């Protein structure tokens, strides 16, 4: 054996030994990430064959382009269409947002894709994947419709997602979902111990779309959701597992798993702004921010604090569909359920409005407001300039306005001919999608707004 080969062998042995040692002393947060990305808590939404044939449902000219593409090119086209990202560090062809489940017979065409929490909370900014960033490109409604059509063509059985989407809209715009209504509907057919109940009329449902929050904010909060009604706990993270196949035994058995998953979520740090910052201008903005914005959004840097302040709905004046969607019945039912048994704070069954979120890493969390209606921080600070209809690029970033790279319209363009294409345009004229309110920057002049915008890059 040559000297070089010997040193390579020793180096590889050392790496393997170190990796084995790391597995042996896996931290709680590391275990949480492993469970989140490798353990299936739901049934598969579709198999590999269905995913590979989704392109046959696409509109022209995309379908013809896919027909003439290689399988790998079609896979990348599908990832782009549905807002999926690569599972970095693995050899899996399944997206980060799904857990692969092997077929018992080893048939690769029957490899199952099981949705995980990263479907909404694992996205990318400026083309770079960031752990815990909202997936502002996820096209859940389009994906589900095209999965269902492909299954019907292939004579494959439909799942809970395929059937449920016929009755409950999953999301009217790319990057937003009707998630709160999912949770309300799923819990409506369970008792306080999560036993299934079938003989109930459906609850009142107010469909609306939400933009997922950044997960690195979790550590600063005691409560979840934009109206802050739900106490934070590992159990609270499990609400979207309420498919018929999962009963009280499964939920009780998975508590330790979700304690680890929460530990991973709370280990996340806000990403740093990757481009140049005018430090002097940002310092001017810091003083203005602390005077005008910190009362609700908190302070940053040494000695920082976050008040988790609920702002009355009439004061913040943003779209109220989310505020009205749960009403008393939804929050009251939740307050007696299994999900709050280990909570350290009470459920708020009658909140006054919306909770002002922390702003750590805010540069990476576009679009803004709870419904994702405002594309950049500049538009947040200049509410009269917020566009009626806008379309974003996939990987571009607007450094000047700090947020999504967009094209604006007065109406949906003729190119949005199909429903799937129309969902790629955010139309603020639709119910639940208005971009008004949050006019607190009206007290600032243009120079002060520019300074605050520069300061927000530093958080």
Beta bridge partners of 389: 409, 427
Tell me what pLDDT residue 93 has: 87
- pLDDT for 52: 98
Rounded Cα gap, residues 218 and 213, in angstroms: 9
Please tell me the predicted confidence (pLDDT) of residue 455.
Answer: 98
- pLDDT at residue 24 in the model: 61
Other Cβ atoms within 10 Å of 110 Cβ, number: 17
Residues 130 and 288: their CA atoms lie apart, in Å, by 29
Question: What 3-state class would DSSP assign to 441?
Answer: helix
Q: Which residue's entry shows tokens 């799904």? A: 98
User: How would you list the strands of the sheet with 112-115, edge to edge?
Assistant: 46-47, 112-115, 98-101
Tokens coding 296: 């609700």
Place of tokens 């890493």: 361
Task: Give the E-state strand segments of 192-242 in sequence order.
Answer: 223-224, 230-231
pLDDT of residue 372: 97
Q: Residue 24 class from Cβ within 10 Å (0-12 exposed, 13-18 middle, 19+ buried)?
A: exposed
Ordered per-residue pLDDT tens for the chain, 459 residues: 443 333 333 333 343 333 334 446 899 999 999 999 999 999 999 999 999 999 999 999 999 999 999 999 999 999 999 999 998 877 788 999 999 999 988 999 999 999 999 999 999 999 999 989 999 999 999 999 999 999 999 999 999 999 999 989 999 999 999 999 999 999 999 999 999 998 888 888 999 999 999 999 999 999 999 999 999 999 999 999 999 999 999 999 999 999 999 999 999 999 999 999 999 999 999 999 999 999 999 999 998 999 999 999 999 999 999 999 987 778 999 999 999 987 889 999 999 999 999 999 999 999 999 999 999 999 999 999 999 999 999 999 999 999 999 999 999 998 888 899 999 999 999 999 999 999 999 999 999 999 999 999 999
The SS3 of residue 397 is strand
Q: What is the pLDDT of residue 202?
A: 84
pTM of the full structure: 0.91
Q: How many residues does the chain have?
A: 459
Q: With CA atoms as reference, report the closest residue to 413 among 447, 390, 381, 442.
A: 390
Cα of 45 vs its chain's centroid, Å: 18
| Cβ neighbour number for residue 440 with a 10 Å cutoff | 19
Token pair 């709050």 in the structure block, residue: 340
Q: Look up residue 66 and give its two tokens.
A: 């896919």
Is 129 exposed, middle or buried (CB count within 10 Å of its CB: 0-12, 13-18, 19+)?
Answer: middle
């Amino acid at each position: 054996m040559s000297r070089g080969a010997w040193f390579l062998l020793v180096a590889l042995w050392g790496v393997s030994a170190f990796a084995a040692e790391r597995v042996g002393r896996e931290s709680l947060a590391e275990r949480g990430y492993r469970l989140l990305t490798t353990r299936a808590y739901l049934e598969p939404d579709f198999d590999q064959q269905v995913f590979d044939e989704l392109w046959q449902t696409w509109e022209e000219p995309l379908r013809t382009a896919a027909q003439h593409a290689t399988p790998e090119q079609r896979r990348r086209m599908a990832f782009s269409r549905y807002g999926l990202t690569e599972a970095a560090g693995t050899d899996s062809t399944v997206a980060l947002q799904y857990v692969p489940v092997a077929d018992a017979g080893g048939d690769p065409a029957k490899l199952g894709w099981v949705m995980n929490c990263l479907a909404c909370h694992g996205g990318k900014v400026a083309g770079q994947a960031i752990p815990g960033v909202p997936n502002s490109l996820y096209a859940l409604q389009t994906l589900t419709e095209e999965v269902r059509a492909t299954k019907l063509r292939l004579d494959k059985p439909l799942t809970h997602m395929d059937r449920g989407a016929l009755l409950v809209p999953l999301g009217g715009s790319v990057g937003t979902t009707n998630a709160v209504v999912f949770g309300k509907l799923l819990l409506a057919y369970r008792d306080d111990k999560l036993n299934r109940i079938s003989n109930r009329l459906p609850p009142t449902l107010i469909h609306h779309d939400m933009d997922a929050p950044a997960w690195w904010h979790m550590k600063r909060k005691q409560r979840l959701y934009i109206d802050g009604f739900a106490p934070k706990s590992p159990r609270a993270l499990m609400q979207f597992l309420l498919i018929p196949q999962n009963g009280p035994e499964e939920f009780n058995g998975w508590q330790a798993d979700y304690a680890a998953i929460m530990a991973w979520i709370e280990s996340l740090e806000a990403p740093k702004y990757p481009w140049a910052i005018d430090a002097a201008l940002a310092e001017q903005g810091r003083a203005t921010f602390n005077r005008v914005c910190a009362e609700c959004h908190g302070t940053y840097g040494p000695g920082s604090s976050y008040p988790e302040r609920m702002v009355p709905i009439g004061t913040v004046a943003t779209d109220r569909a989310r505020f009205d969607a749960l009403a008393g019945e939804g929050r009251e039912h939740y307050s007696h359920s299994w999900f709050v048994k280990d909570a350290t704070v009470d459920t708020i069954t009658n909140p006054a409005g919306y909770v002002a979120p922390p702003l750590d890493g805010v540069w990476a969390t576009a679009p803004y407001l709870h419904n994702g209606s405002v594309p950049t921080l500049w538009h947040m600070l200049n509410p009269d300039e917020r566009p009626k209809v806008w379309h974003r690029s996939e990987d571009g970033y607007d450094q000047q306005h700090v947020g999504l790279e967009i094209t604006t319209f007065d109406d949906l363009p003729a190119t949005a001919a199909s429903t799937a294409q129309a969902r790629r345009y955010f139309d603020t004229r639709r119910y639940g999608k208005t971009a008004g309110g949050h006019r607190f920057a009206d007290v600032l002049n243009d120079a002060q707004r520019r300074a605050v915008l520069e300061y927000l890059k530093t958080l």
